[in-house]
Amino acid sequence: MKQLSIKELELKANDIRQDLLKALTKAKSGHSGGPLGMADVFCALYFHIIKHDPKKPDWEERDRIILSNGHICPVRYAAMAHAGYFPLAELDTLRKFGTRLQGHPERMRLPGVETTSGPLGSGLSQASGMAYVGKHIDKKKWRVYCLTSDGEHDEGNTWEAVLFAAKYRLDNLTQIIDRNNIQIDGNTEDIMPLNPLKEKYEAFNWNVIEIDGHNIEQIIDACAQAQATQNKPTLVVANTIPGKGVSFMENRYEWHGVPPGKGPEDTVPKEKQLEVALQELQTWREEIEASPET
């Protein structure tokens, strides 16, 4: 795959956002906020950071992306489709009977999905198990990228994995947490406070890097720093805006679990939600195109 410039990556992330919203609207159910918030991270991973071959999803030497908070899978599906794992048109089958794009991702249905997920808190453990094999048993070069949510840090299973990954010095493991500060019932710091999150992880012997989760350069740099870190797993705290790119969805937990056409109507009526969202994203796209190459 040819190396994309930062600007090209930003455009790709914009395409991913537009496509995942279209797919969600057709599905008439699913999550909007999280996928929009993680589009830049997924774009950076699939189009710059990881070693992979979309035509050979089970290639032994590939880097592994474990999506722990499976409900944001529309962004993974859209990124995978753009990367060439399957045709873009298949995104229209999201959540429909017979689809490979299940409401929560399933390993046995779609090649390239490394594990089945949805129930929160178990991805980091699986990623750690894989990383253990890669580092200590098979001594392979491939890396494991585990994407988690802040909300799922309420789960005890997550912290069991945090202990495990530190004990076994899994420096081939990079966790990227979608720090968007919301969960289903409200703000994470109201529901079950996680702060000081960075200091917690450091006390658990993790290397921690905090970044703007919408700055693709920072995402790439953080993953490079993680790769250069020895004897510790790395946590990248990606500060993100849920619903990023669509003004009426941004920072609103009401948009956590609904698609365009089913969200709150206080600013945009239901039947206009997709159209307005796509217009906003298109405007953003044009701004990126007009910006100078960095």
What are the residues binding other proteins (CB under 8 A)? 66, 106-108, 114-119, 121-122, 125-134, 136-138, 156-157, 160-161, 163-164, 168
> What is the residue type of 271?
E
**Least distance (Å) from other proteins to the CB of residue 156?**
7
Task: State the angle between helix axes of 6-27 and 273-290 in degrees (0 to 180), rounded to the nearest 10.
Answer: 170
CB of 126 to other proteins, least distance (A): 4
Pick 87 or 156: Cβ nearer other proteins: 156
Select 71 or 244, whichever has its Cβ closest to other proteins.
71
Would you say 128 or 207 has its CB closer to other proteins?
128
Which residue number, 93 or 157, has a Cβ lying nearer to other proteins? 157
Cβ 161 to other proteins shortest distance, Å: 6
Which parts of 45-155 fold into alpha helices (H)?
A: 73-83, 123-132
Closer to other proteins by Cβ: residue 58 or 266: 58
The nearest distance, CB 72 to other proteins, in angstroms, is 16
Which three-class secondary structure state does DSSP give residue 250? coil
- C-alpha 18/C-alpha 56 separation (Å) is 26
- Tokens 């405007």 found at: 283
**Closest CB 125 distance from other proteins, rounded Å:** 3
Asked if 237 and 263 touch (Cβ cutoff 8 Å), the reply is no
Closest distance to other proteins from the beta carbon of 173 (Å): 10
Cβ closer to other proteins: 49 or 113? 113
Please tell me the distance from the alpha carbon of residue 161 to that of residue 66, in angstroms, as a whole number: 14
∠ Cα 277 279 284 (to 5°): 95
The pairing of strands 173-179 and 182-183 is unpaired
Distance CA 288, CA 11 (A): 7
